[in-house]
Structure formats: structure tokens, C-alpha cells
Structure 1
Amino acid sequence: MKRIRIWDPFVRVFHWSLVAAFAANALFTDPEGKLHDYVGYAVVALVAARLLWGFVGSTPARFSSFLPTLPAIQGQLRDMATGRRRAHLGHTPLGALMIFNLLAVMLAIGATGYMMTTNAFWGVEWVEETHEALVTWAEISVVAHVAAVIYESWRTRVNLPRAMITGVKEIPEDAMTEA
């Protein structure tokens, strides 16, 4: 196994903090309560910090290092269809799409949630419906993300959850690798 240090502490703390905060607001806090609002603000602050880190952080954390291109996405889909094991050092192209999706939807949830606390949008139906639809989309995305991580961990024999805890990817010697 090749051991490659890939995820810096900021990325790992961000990831698991976002998991905890989103789960808290989706599953445990009262949507009408102040705690729900504060956790929502924390989610937006986390995403804002991650966006900044995407430009100034460590190389694997920078958006420029994992911008998904159509050929890269097609390549990953081909690998999946043909059973070719190619481990990516950082995010896979499909994983990158999910990251951008989740960052955007978290900000949109935060924006509509904030709008619902203002006088201008208090009780406005489309804002509440949009907020709820975005939360549903985020929940679907999270389930798809977890399923994909499990599948890709099995398919590539790289324990992706462990890498997001330790910061180190252990890649089998026989797995072709891509940056």
C-alpha cells in the first residue's frame, strides 16, 4: 500500500463539522427555534471558510486541483462500467461535482433560511417552499454521497472514510492512480 497524506486538518474538520451541523438541523433542532437559526449560520460560516480555503489552502483542497472536466467524468464512468480500478489521489471527478453541489445547496439553504427571518420575506410561501425543497435536495445528495463513498471504497479498495478521518489515503500498489 502507498500511504499518501492528502487531506489537511482544515478540510477534515470542515467536513465532519458540516456533517454534524447539517444533521443537527435536519434531524434534531426545532425548525422554528433560535438554535436552528444559529446552526444554520454556522453552516454558512463553515461553507464560506471552505470557499476561501478552496483558493488559498493546501494543494489538494484547492478547487483548481479538482475541477471536474467532461473527459474526466466520462473516464471515471468508463472505469466504473469496465471495472478498471483507478484510485484518485484527491477527489474523483464525480466526487468534485458532489462537492460543488453540496457547497452550493448549503449556501442556498442558508440564504432562504435567512430570508425567512426577515420582515420582507416573513411568511412568504415561495421562500419557505424553496427552503424545504433545497433541504430535501441536500438530504438526497448526502445519501447519494455516502452511497458513492461506500461504492468507490469497495471498487478501488481505498478506505475513503478513513482518509477523511486520518488525512492519509492508503492506495493499493496495483491500483492505477490519477491526481
Structure 2
Amino acid sequence: MTNDKKTLRVWDPVVRIGHWTLVIAFFTAYFTEDDFMDLHVWAGYVVTAYLLIRILWGFVGGKYARFSNFIYSPSQIIGCLKNLITRKPQHYIGHNPAGGAMVVALLLSLAATTLTGLKLYAVEDNKGPFAVSATQAQTHIQSTSLISVANAADDEDDDEKSERNGNERRIDKEGEEFWEELHEVFANLTLLLVFLHILGVAVSSYIDKEKLVKVMLTGKKDVDDTYQ
């Protein structure tokens, strides 16, 4: 067995450009939630668009971009983490088992963040891909309320109208608070995973003697026979 180095192109432009675009878009969205809502929304759309592309690319992309290349069993993931802790480098051309698990976790958390964000956007402003569903839900609430009032009495006084409108506003407010809280939970979870990802990259780069950030910029990695 020889240890002659050779350079392989590991990450294609879809992965590399998408990775850094995702970084910029996520942090833009995270820090512009209240003061610059239009920017927040558009950054969220960029995240959503890349997620859809990356998921598709995980099935039809290059060898190292495919899910089949970096989804490992729990025992392999644990083994990889043990090797990092004991400083026993285990080299992979693509993502190592721990890195692959982090990619999947980030994709799932980002998907939940964008879905809840789009739902909140529909509930608050009746905009976005879920706006029609939000309108239908509001119409259903109003129809149900009108039917109930009609069954109770043919003539409705001002107090009953005010109570009905108050109930509708309460339902809307509760729905808005639910999606807002859920959106914040997943956004903060994603942020935590991002920090863990950065920590993992730093530790792995140090122990495995690899320049992982440079590899994600250039797409090229120097490998030898110890890589798998």
C-alpha cells in the first residue's frame, strides 16, 4: 500500500455554491426577522429553494453528493465520534459518518424551519404558498360561526356580533402564536446545529489534518490510500 497523494474533485458547484449561499441566506433570515421582514422572507425563499435542489441532488447528483454515500448506521456514526475523541484519524473522501449525520439533521431542521415560516407568513399576511389554505381556513371559521348564530336566532344583536368577531380574532391570534413559536423553535435548533457543525469541522480538520473549509471552497481534496 502506498501513501501517494492525489487530488480528487469531491464537491461539485451545486454543493459548494449552494452551501455558501445557504449560510448567507440562513443568517440573513435569522437576523432580519422583525426589522426587515421583506428581506427575511426573501432569504427564507432562498433557503427553501436550495433545500429542494439539495434534496433532489442527493438522489441524482455526483457520487459524493448522494445520500447513499454519506448516510451511515448509528454504530458507524458512534465509531467515527470515538475515533475523533481518541485522535485516531479515519479518512473519508466525502462526508465522514458524523458529518453525514449532521448534514441530514441540518436539512431536516431547515425544512421544518422553512415550512413553519411559510405557514406563519400565510397566517399573518395571507401570503406565500400556503396563503390559499389560510384563506380557506378563515372562510371555514366564519361560515361555522354564521351557521351557529343562525341556528341560535334569526336576529342577531350587536353584542352577539361583537362576541363572534372577538372569537374569530382569538382563533387567528392563537394560530399565529402557535406557528410563530414553532418557527422560532426550529430556527434556534438550526442555529445550534450550525454551531455544532462548525465545531465538528474544526475538530475534524485538526485531528484528521484536513482543510475542510478550503475543500468546500475549491471542491478538491488531496487523498491517499488511507481514504475510503
Shared fold, TM over 0.5: yes
In the aligned structure 2, how far is the partner of 1:126 from the partner of 1:40? 19
In the aligned structure 2, how far is the partner of 1:127 from the partner of 1:31? 19
Which structure shows the higher strand fraction?
A: 1
Shift of 1:32: 6.1
2:226 to 148, 154, 176: 176
Structure 1 segment 52-131 matched on structure 2, within 5 A: 52-119=56-123, 120=134, 123=173, 124-131=176-183
Q: Number of residues paired by the alignment?
A: 176
Contact 1:159 1:170 in 2 (8 A): no
Contact 1:4 1:170 in 2 (8 A): yes
Which structure shows the higher helix fraction?
A: 2
Shift of 1:134: 0.7
Contact 2:32 2:39 in 1 (8 A): no
Shift of 1:61: 0.4
Shift of 1:154: 0.3
Q: Please, which runs of 5 or more residues in structure 1 have no aligned partner?
A: none
**Cross-structure match for 1:135:** 187
Q: Does 1:149 align with 2:201?
A: yes
Q: What code does the residue aligned with 1:2 have?
A: K
Matched position secondary structure for 1:170: strand
Structure 1 length-normalised TM: 0.90
Shift of 1:36: 1.0
In the aligned structure 2, how far is the partner of 1:67 from the partner of 1:28? 33
Using the aligned pairs only, state the percent identity: 35
Matched position secondary structure for 2:180: helix
Contact 2:7 2:221 in 1 (8 A): yes
Structure 1 pair 45–31 and aligned structure 2 pair: CA distance change class (3 A):
farther
Q: What code does the residue aligned with 2:120 have?
A: M
Q: Does 1:11 align with 2:63?
A: no
Q: Which runs of 4+ in 1 moved over 3 A?
A: 28-32, 119-123
CA displacement, residues 80-108 of structure 1 (integer Å, 9 cap, x when unaligned): 23221122110011111111111111111
Q: What code does the residue aligned with 1:176 have?
A: T
Q: Please, which runs of 5 or more residues in structure 2 have no aligned partner?
A: 124-133, 138-171
**Cross-structure match for 2:126:** none
Shift of 1:29: 5.6
Matched position secondary structure for 1:177: coil
Matched position secondary structure for 2:121: coil
Structure 2 length-normalised TM: 0.72
Moved more, 152-161 or 67-76: 67-76
Q: CA RMSD in A?
A: 1.9
